[in-house]
Structure 1
C-alpha cells in the first residue's frame, strides 16, 4: 500500500463481512493527518496516527445483521457501505479448497443455479509471495456475493459450507479465500518455527529479491515455451481426413506407455470418426474428453473446439451449433506429453452429448506421433512449493481481522514426505493462534482416496499423511473431516465438494456453535489384545448390537509384515484376527493411496479415518 493520504487495509471495503459479537478494527495509514475518526451506527471512534502513519480504531461488538455504513475521516473521507456482521472464516490450504464452483458444475449445477444468497460473501486473495519479510497488508480484492455469475468464482467447498451455516443459523457468512493450488504446509509456516524442522533458507535465499524471483521464473517459462514451440514447429504435418486410416491404433482411455515401447515426450495425434444420424439441432452440445496428461487441443470437422494447457481441468468443451453434421464427423485430438508418459485417463467420461443423446467415444482410435522430443519439457519453478511465502504475504496481514475459525484442506503436496506433518501442522496452528491472539478453531479435511495415474505403486505416502492428520486431533479446539469415501481415484480434484462443505459445517456446528451432533467418522481410541485377537475401541461410533464384517483391516506380527485381517464390528469395538499372525504387533486400516470397498461408517454416514496403531 502506498503511504499517501488516507488509505484503508484493502480488505476493509464495500460489501465486507465483519465478525459479529467481537471487537473489530478499522485500520490503515494516513500520512497527512494526526487523528482519524470512524463514524459508525450513530457514534464516533477516534485514534491517533502513529509516527509511521498507521492507525487502528476499535469498534465495539455488534450482533449479526446489516447492512451498515462506516465513514472514516482523516486527511480525506472514505465511506464503506453494505457492511454485514456475521461469521468470518479463513479458507486455506491448496487446490481442493481453492477449486471454484465453475469446476464442479457437472455434479452440482442444479444446486448452484438455485443459490442466491447475498448474505454469503467471499474475499478472494490472489496468490502472492514474500520470501523476505511479512507484509503489512494483503493484496487488493473485492468482496463478492453468492449471487449470479459471481458465485462461479467462490470456493466450492467454502460455498457449500457457508450455505449450511446460513440455512441453520441465518447469520451472514464471510469467506476469506487464501488457498493456493499446490502449496505445501511449509509455505504457510512461520520461518522461525520452520527452522525446527530443518534448514529451508537455501530454498528461498535468492528469492528474497522479488524482482529476481519473477525474472527467474520468467526465464524458466521461456525455456518451457521454446520446447513447446519446437514440438509444434517440427512435428509432421498431414491431411487428417485422408491419412489417419493408415495410422496405428490405440484405445481411449490409455496412456502412451500402453502402446509405445519406450518413454515418450512430445506430441501425439489421435483421430476417429463419429457417425451421427441427424444435424446438430441445439446449442448445448459438448464433447467430454475426460482427463488428459498433459495439454490438448480438440477439433471436430476441422474446427477447433477447445484447448487446455495443463493437466488437471476436466476436458468438457462446448460444440458450436453447425459444427456437427449428419453423417460422419472427424474428431482429432492433439496431446502434448511433457515428462515421458501421459495420455487419456481411465474412469473419466469420453463422449459427445448432442440433441439429448450421449455417444460413447471410448474404444479404438487411430494415432500418429507428431513429434518425439529427445528431452522432457524444461521444468518451471512452482512457487507454492517453496516455504514461508504465503505466511509472510497472506497470513500475517490477516492477523488484525476478527474471524470465527479456519477451514484447512491441504496435504496433497506433502505426501512425498509425510513423517513430520503432524508436528508441522501443530506448529503452524500454534503460530497462527499467536498471531490472531486467541485459540482460533481449526477444522481440517483428511485427504480422500486417490491414485496418481502415473504411479506404479499402491502406497506413495497418502495413507501415512492421513494418519498424521489423525494424530493432529490431539490439538485443542480442532476437528477433522474424514473423506475416504468421496475421492476419485483418477482425479486429484474430486468434484463432489458439497459433501465436504456439509461435513465441515457439521464439524463447525459441534466445535464452534456447540451443537450436540455427530460430526466425525469413527476414530480409534484404545487398542488391546486377547491372545491373537486385537480389539480396537472407537470414538464417534454407536453401540449397536448388530455385528458387521469390515474390509481394509490388516495385522502385522513380529516380522513386521502386514496381512489381511478378519474384522468384525461389535458395538463400539472392532475385533481383528489373522490366521497368519499369532502375536499381533501392529494394526492398520485403509492403508494405501486409494482404498476400495470402504464399508466402515457410523450411523451418520461418516467414514472411519485411515490409521496405523502399534500394540504396546
Structure 2
C-alpha cells in the first residue's frame, strides 16, 4: 500500500520524466539495491532491538495479569502521547460466568504505529504498521478478572484513532473499551530516519509485479491508487496516461482501465487537486471512474466500505467492457468514450 504511480510505470513510460528515469537507472543496479537492503535491515534491527532491550515491560512482564499497575498513570485511550519508543496500556475487565469460555473478538481501531496485544498474559495479535484495523480473536474468555495489555512502539509520537470501534465483542454482548486505561512509558529512543521503500522507486513494482504478467491474458485493469501522489499531484494525469498506454502496449490491445476517485478525507489537504487530475485522465479512451468522494471517512484515508467501491467498479465494467445497458448512475463516470474496448 501507499505506492506512488511511478513505481507501476515501465522505464519506457517514464521517458518524459527525466528525474524519474535517472532514479530508475540508479535502482536498476542490483549491487546498489543489495547494499541499500542490507543497510535498511540492519538499521531497523538496531532500532527495534534497542527498544526491546531498553523496555523494562518485557523483562518485568507488564502484560501479565499478576503485575501490579496501580502506580501507573491513568489516561484516556484516545489521548495521544509524544516521543519515540514504546508505551504500555492496561485495562482490567470482569467477565461474568455466562461469558466464560466464549470466543471473543477484540476491536482496537487503528493506531500509530506497531502493537502487540495480550489478554491475561497471552499474546493474541500484533500489527506492524498503522493503517490496518486491529481485530484480534480471543479463543476463550477467562472468568472473572481479564487484563488487556497493549504494547505500542511509535516512531514519532503515538495515538489511537478517534472515532473507531474499541470493543471486546462476544455473541452474547460486548464491552466498551473507550475511556480510562493505565499507561506507562516503556523505552525511549531517537526517531529513526525515514524508511527507504525500494519498491516505491520508479519502475520498481512494474518490474516485479506487472512485467511478469505480460504472458497472461488480461481482460482489463482495476486501479485504486493515488493517495501517495496527492501531496504532489501535478502531472499525475500525464503519468497515468503514460502508464495506461504502456500497459496497453504490453498486452497489445486497448486494455480497459477502470479507476477509483480518491474519497473525501480531512487529512488530505491536496486531495481535491488530485481528484482534478483523476478527472483529466478520463480523456483517455476506454476508461471509467468509480466515484468515491461520498465514501470517505474523516478519520481514515482508507474507507472501510470496500464493497460499495467494488459495486461501482463492477457497474463500470458491465457498461464499458461487457456492453450492458444500465440505468445512469452519478457514481460511475464514463469518460471512457466507449470505443472498441469490448474485446
Same topology, TM > 0.5? yes
Partner of 2:337: none
Q: How many residue pairs align between the two structures?
A: 328
Q: After superposition, give the CA deviation of every residue in 1:473-530 in whole Å (9 maximum; x if it has no partner).
A: 1221111000112233323333322211111111111112222224552799xxxxxx
Structure 2 portions without partners, runs of 5+: 334-343
Cα gap change, 1:522/1:223 in structure 2, threshold over 3 Å: closer, same or farther? Answer: closer
One of 402, 419, 424 as aligned partner of 2:234: 419
Alpha carbons of structure 1 residues 377 and 325: separation in structure 2 relative to 1, 3 Å? farther
1:380 aligns with 2:195: yes
Q: Tell me the SS of whatever aligns to 1:348.
A: coil
Displacement, 1:331?
Answer: 1.7
More strand per residue:
1
- Map residues 430-445 of structure 1 onto 2, 5 A cutoff: 430-445=245-260
Q: Relative to structure 1, is the Cα distance of residues 522 and 243 closer, same or farther in structure 2, using a 3 angstrom cutoff?
A: closer
Q: Which moved more, 1:232-241 or 1:381-390?
A: 232-241
Residues 16-68 of structure 1: CA distance to partner in whole angstroms, max 9, x if unpaired? xxxxxxxxxxxxxxxxxxxxxxxxxxxxxxxxxxxxxxxxxxxxxxxxxxxxx
Matches within 5 A, 1:459-538: 459-518=268-327, 520-521=329-330
Q: Rate the CA distance shift 1:309–1:396 in 2: closer, same or farther, 3 A.
A: closer
Select which of 56, 76, 87 maps to 1:236. 56
Does the Cα contact within 8 Å between 1:266 and 1:372 map onto a contact in 2? Answer: yes
Kindly indicate which of the two structures has a greater share of residues assigned to helix.
Answer: 2
Q: How many Å separate the matches in 2 of 1:395 and 1:520?
A: 32
Name the CA distance, whole Å, in 2 between partners of 1:320 and 1:441: 45
- Show the 5 A alignment for 1:396-407: 396-407=211-222
In 2, Cα distance between equivalents of 1:394 and 1:219: 24
For 1:473, what is the secondary structure of its paired residue? helix
Q: How does 1:175-186 map to 2 (within 5 A)?
A: 181-186=1-6
| Higher Rg | 1
- TM-score, normalization by structure 2: 0.87
What SS does structure 1 have at the residue aligned with 2:185? strand
Q: Which has the higher contact order (CA 8 A, sep 6+)?
A: 2
Query: In the aligned structure 2, how far is the partner of 1:330 from the partner of 1:523?
Result: 48
Q: Which residue of 2 aligns with 1:252?
A: 77
**Are residues 235 and 205 of structure 1, via their aligned partners in 2, closer, same or farther at CA, if it must alter by over 3 Å?**
same
Cα distance per residue 1:182-218 (max 9 Å; x no partner):
2211112232332313412443444323354234223
Question: Residue 336 of structure 2 aligns with which residue?
Answer: none
Task: Flag the 1:467–1:354 CA change in 2: closer, same or farther, 3 A.
Answer: same
Shift of 1:434: 2.3
**Which secondary structure does the structure 2 equivalent of 1:440 belong to?**
coil
**CA separation of 1:320 and 1:391: change in aligned 2, threshold 3 A:** closer
Residue of structure 2 in register with 1:284 after alignment: 103
Name the CA distance, whole Å, in 2 between partners of 1:479 and 1:392: 26
TM, length-normalised to structure 1 = 0.50
Give the structure 2 partner of residue 299 of structure 1.
118
Q: Give the whole-Å Cα distance in 2 for the aligned partners of 1:508 and 1:355.
A: 39
Structure 1: runs of 5+ lacking an equivalent: 1-180, 257-262, 453-458, 525-616
- Does the Cα contact within 8 Å between 1:450 and 1:487 map onto a contact in 2? yes
Equivalence for 1:335 = 152
Aligned-pair RMSD on alpha carbons? 2.3
CA contact (8 A) 2:99 2:172 kept: no
Q: Is the alpha carbon distance of 1:408 and 1:513 closer, same or farther for their aligned partners in structure 2, counting shifts above 3 Å?
A: same
1:358 corresponding residue in structure 2:
174
1:416 & 1:471 partners in 2: Cα distance?
17
1:325-370 deviation line (CA, Å, top 9, x unaligned): 22x32221111101x2222111111111235211100001121111
